Structure 1
Amino acid sequence: MKSSTNRNLKHLARKLRKQGTKGEAILWRDVLKARQMIGDQFNRQFIIENYIVDFVCRDLKLIIEIDGYSHFVKSEEDYQRQTELETQGFQFLRFSEAMVVYRIDEVVTEIDYAVECLENQIDTDIYQ
């Protein structure tokens, strides 16, 4: 998947990778980075168009967002961004920071289910 990106966001994305939240660090280190060994490549703090998403699996067009405190004050902005990216075929999973930190097993179960569904959808599309 090739999409245009706002290169001006590159520095900010790099900064966000270095200064991520505890939930982002846990999800990246313990779950998503490990998944790359079994075939699902995720990127973190990835630029799509004029937005930086927390995590994305580009092959599946799956975006995972961790909503911390800052998301409460910018929920309208998040909604607009999500709506725009969904029109480009992306699907979203959203988890609260607390959910990732304290209930990671449930988060992993939801991610696994979403990935399985999207992989099956792709396999079905290939044979049509």
Structure 2
Amino acid sequence: MDGEARWRRNNRVSQGHSAGNRRSRKTSSGICRARRLDGLKFRRQAPLLGYTVDFLCFERKLVVELDGRQHDVERDYDAARSEEIERHGFMVIRFGNETVLNDRDVVIARIREGAGTATEIPLLQGEGKVR
């Protein structure tokens, strides 16, 4: 059994079913869905190198991970996983639930920076207004 499968088996109770985690995933998927962010295509819960990543933009080799409370106890596992993914040329960006829920502009700016599409005005396609 690989590390991720073992971790999932041992952490079934805390696998992201809290209300805060669901809200942060919904918020992030809103940012990353339907090519809304600079026309980038993100796949949600995508398989990559034997892992399942939260969001993957393959064309930019960018992985966006959302870290809920369960990640506090799995920091070493997450760090090793990120290192392996990065060794294959991907960039991994991690956000805590609180950041996703409370600071959307920071999330957008960091994703754009990682994807190399950073602009002066953080505007999502379809929003129609400048913040």
Report the equivalent of 2:87.
87
- CA separation of 1:110/1:38 partners in 2, compared to 1, >3 Å: closer, same or farther? closer
- CA separation of 1:73/1:66 partners in 2, compared to 1, >3 Å: closer, same or farther? same
Deviation at 1:80, TM superposition (A): 1.0
Counterpart CA distance in 1 for 2:74 and 2:103 is 24
Aligned residue type for 1:73: V
- Aligned-partner SS, 2:59: coil
Deviation at 1:59, TM superposition (A): 0.7
Q: How does 1:59-98 map to 2 (within 5 A)?
A: 59-98=59-98
Q: Which runs of 4+ in 1 moved over 3 A?
A: none
Does the CA-based 8 Å contact 2:34-2:41 persist in structure 1?
A: no
Normalising by the residue count of structure 2, what TM-score does the alignment of the two structures yield? 0.69
Determine whether 1:27 maps to 2:28.
yes
Deviations 1:81-120 (A, max 9, x none): 11111111010111110000011111111112222269xx
Q: How does 1:1-128 map to 2 (within 5 A)?
A: 21-29=22-30, 31-36=31-36, 38-116=38-116
Does the CA-based 8 Å contact 2:38-2:117 persist in structure 1?
A: no
Report the equivalent of 1:6.
none
- Aligned-partner SS, 2:40: coil
Does the CA-based 8 Å contact 2:67-2:97 persist in structure 1?
A: yes
Q: Point out the structure with the larger helix share.
A: 1
Aligned residues: 104
Give the gaps of 5 or more residues in structure 2: 9-14, 119-131
Deviation at 1:37, TM superposition (A): 7.5
Normalising by the residue count of structure 1, what TM-score does the alignment of the two structures yield? 0.70
Q: Percent identity?
A: 29
Aligned residue type for 1:51: Y
Aligned residue type for 1:100: V
